[in-house]
Amino acid sequence: MKKRLKITFAVFITVLFLFFLSFLAFFVLTADAKLDEEKLENQERLTLYYDKNNELLFKTSSGVNTVNIEELPPYVYNSFVAVEDERFYSHNGVDAKSLFRALMANIRTFSFKEGGSTISQQLIKNTQLNSDKTIKRKLSELKLALELEKKYKKSDILEKYINSIYFGNGCYGIADASEYYFGKKPENLSVSESAILASIIKSPLNYAPNKNPENCKKRRDIVLKKMLEQKYIDEFEYKTALESEIQTKPYVKSTQNFFLRQAEKETENIIKNYPYEYKTLKVYTNFDKKIQEDVDLYFTLDNIDSDKTVCILDKENLVAAYASTIGERERRLGSTIKPVLVYAPAIETDTVYPCSIVKDEKTEIEGYKLKNYNDLYYGNVSVRFSLAKSLNSCAVKLLNSTGIEKSKEYAVKCGINLKDNENNLSIALGNTEHGTTLVDLSGAYSVFRDKGEYVKPSFIKEIIDENANVVYKKNNSKNRIFSVGTCELMNDMLNYTVKYGTAKALNSKIPLCAKTGTVGNEHGNTDAYTVSFNRDYVMGVWYGNADSSYMDNRITGGSYPARLAGSIWNKIYNEKTAPEFLDNEECVYLDLDREEYENGKIILADENTPERYKLKEIFKKSKIPKERSNNFTVPKVLKAEISVDYSRVKIQLCLTKLANAYIYKSYNEKKELVFDTKNVPYGFSFIDTKIKPNTEYEYYVIPYLISDKGIVTGETYYLQKIKSPEINSDDWWL
């Protein structure tokens, strides 16, 4: 008996000691774990977003589109209770049964995989702690969950939980998830749809209905069974939900939410280092509802099986409308980099005029082989034509002439992402290491619209807290990148690209400038762009796939992106007049001598040059060609030869270019016109057979040009006098 008492006492002391050690360990390991109610309050902080008219667009809580639990049917939130924490309404934050079961499972497997977490614990882990699987983290989670339940009602905890959990595909909170997967608000979810959302959170990758419908259905049925067992739904609701097919609507966000996701990201980046406390933020944007509706109309009508993005910048370089299936991603730019990296720097440094001649040919520079799309070459072309047709060989030659480092400086200042080590000629074709986002690319093109000044584009104009303190204000200071003259020349060339080049599929009735670009190879294209602009807006359109897989080769920058952009442009200006675009503050249109130009010379036409021999071109006023043609100013006889052969006089003339001549002869005090060179093709050789023997003749030539102002004559040229031979009776036959 005494022995048994001793054993019992020893066991009791051991258990008491172990309990004391456990309590001591719990106290020591969780000493620094304190419930940070500010982090929980972050779930309650409001962020209010306003459009260009200062009208409320939407409100979020801590960057998450939130929902009030009282507005939901009970089965919506109880679907989460049923599968995640069936004793949620009865425990005090820690479910002893689940915790003990998890502990036994971990002991059996010698692991720490099972957690037995309640909804309260999950909320603590998501808002207060990290996801490390350590004893300290788990003990801290238990301590804080108990404290949480003392301070908050069950409904508050559950509301915070469903508004903060991750549902995959970038969706945080039930409001985002409901809209993403089913295209509806949470209050309109069916029983089946509620169970699907409760299923997803276990593993969004494995149970997302739009990715793994079979796995999702199996998991949903488990959730429905638990909901029935726990009396959150009745038998009829259970069977109806069980028979429902897994259906997700094609994901098309509402007008506001396309814009919202990017505005949220930018807001988060802005305020992450804000040192002061706040409860409410007012975020002001230049969101234009009407333009967004125009974008949405054609964005949703387009049924091409690829991802796509459309962004529109206004005059302040703020995003006025935005639609995307993947959000802002850095992508390689293809030929859309050429205006900013190649052509504008070449013109800014006076390396070329738009009309300068460059040879389009297959060639090699410093080991880099130049090749055009479809291996098609045009020979001698203008810089303007090479840009309009996006000729790769010409672009690389221009980059080489201007210099890679100098050209990169301009592009980087315009927001193009180029690294220091990217110093090869292939960057002229957009072959860069990281690429650039569509918003930043559109911002780069705004430099041409804004006469050479750059302002970084953004979604956010201003942020103010509840005390009217300015948290952030967009920096609108302008950086001069290119001269006004360079931009006027670029706009002229990019307008030509819309009319006659790769962007002609824009098919817009309004004045536009544009450039297209495509990234791909013989297997397919990965990216296709059209960037277009007028005085009011810059519009960027991109097609591709989020995973960079190949699209159909028919999708190029000049095809579907250009047509989509054209439709949106025409809709924007359906009821208002588009601004005239091209103006010339620092540039002037001048007439070149077409004949000289076709021979590779840039020479101004003279005032007498006929229109058919003129070529109108644009130049900076500070860089006008010096040489002027005199082809129609002073027609001259450069050389003339005369000879006599019995009864014939032969005259050969050499005249200035495009000149003709009258040939006169005088004899015996008579004068007559004997020949006009313009009447005979290649008529600069004349034989006069109407002569008399033994007679003195004098021939003279008056050169002339026919201009739009009439006939311009030159100085009379006298040939040497000649005398025809005397014919003897023996020479009668001659």
| Successive 10-residue mean pLDDT values, the chain, 734 residues | 59 51 49 63 71 88 77 95 92 74 52 64 79 67 85 91 82 86 92 95 87 92 96 95 84 60 88 73 94 92 88 97 91 95 96 94 77 81 96 93 94 92 88 91 97 96 90 92 96 95 89 95 92 97 92 91 95 88 84 91 90 92 91 88 85 89 92 89 82 89 88 92 74 50
608 occurs within a structural domain: yes
Residues facing residue 702 across a β-bridge: 662
Confidence (pLDDT) at 223: 96
Do 104 and 7 share a structural domain?
no
- Whether residue 383 contacts residue 602, with contact meaning beta carbons closer than 8 Å, is answered with no
279 occurs within a structural domain: no
Do 161 and 92 share a structural domain?
yes
Domain that holds residue 185: 64-242
331 occurs within a structural domain: no
- Whether residue 719 contacts residue 711, with contact meaning beta carbons closer than 8 Å, is answered with no
- Whether residue 512 contacts residue 581, with contact meaning beta carbons closer than 8 Å, is answered with yes
DSSP assignment letter at 129: S
**Domain tally, the chain:** 5
Q: Which of 192, 222, 242 is the last residue of a domain?
A: 242
Phi and psi dihedrals of 224, rounded to 5? -60, -40
Closest CA to 83 of 221, 217, 214, 227: 227
Closest CA to 64 of 158, 148, 162, 131: 162
Do 85 and 15 share a structural domain?
no
CA distance 182 to 412: 42
Place of tokens 């909170």: 173
Q: Which of 379, 414, 449 is the last residue of a domain?
A: 414
Do 353 and 238 share a structural domain?
no
- Whether residue 388 contacts residue 501, with contact meaning beta carbons closer than 8 Å, is answered with yes
Confidence (pLDDT) at 42: 44
CATH code at position 667: 2.60.40.10
Confidence (pLDDT) at 728: 62
CATH code at position 113: 1.10.3810.10
266 occurs within a structural domain: no
Do 228 and 353 share a structural domain?
no
CA distance 46 to 282: 8
CA distance 637 to 654: 6
Name the pTM for this structure: 0.68
Q: Annotate 473-491 with b (16+ C-beta within 10 A) or e (fewer).
A: ebeeeeeebbbbbbbbbbb
607 occurs within a structural domain: yes
264 occurs within a structural domain: no
531 occurs within a structural domain: no
Do 202 and 69 share a structural domain?
yes
Residues 6+ apart with CB under 8 A from 474: 316, 318, 458, 460, 461, 462
Residues 6+ apart with CB under 8 A from 514: 494, 497, 498, 503, 506, 530, 531, 532, 533, 562, 565
Do 95 and 210 share a structural domain?
yes
Confidence (pLDDT) at 31: 55
Do 235 and 199 share a structural domain?
yes
Residues facing residue 464 across a β-bridge: 282, 470
Do 347 and 206 share a structural domain?
no
Closest CA to 515 of 575, 430, 432, 455: 430
Q: Which of 213, 242, 271 is the last residue of a domain?
A: 242
Do 82 and 14 share a structural domain?
no
Do 205 and 111 share a structural domain?
yes
605 occurs within a structural domain: yes
Element (H, E) at 145: helix 135-151
Closest CA to 567 of 502, 528, 512: 512
CA distance 321 to 300: 14
CA distance 498 to 562: 10
Place of tokens 């309404």: 89
Do 174 and 145 share a structural domain?
yes
3-state SS track over 164-188: CCECCCCCECHHHHHHHHHCCCHHH
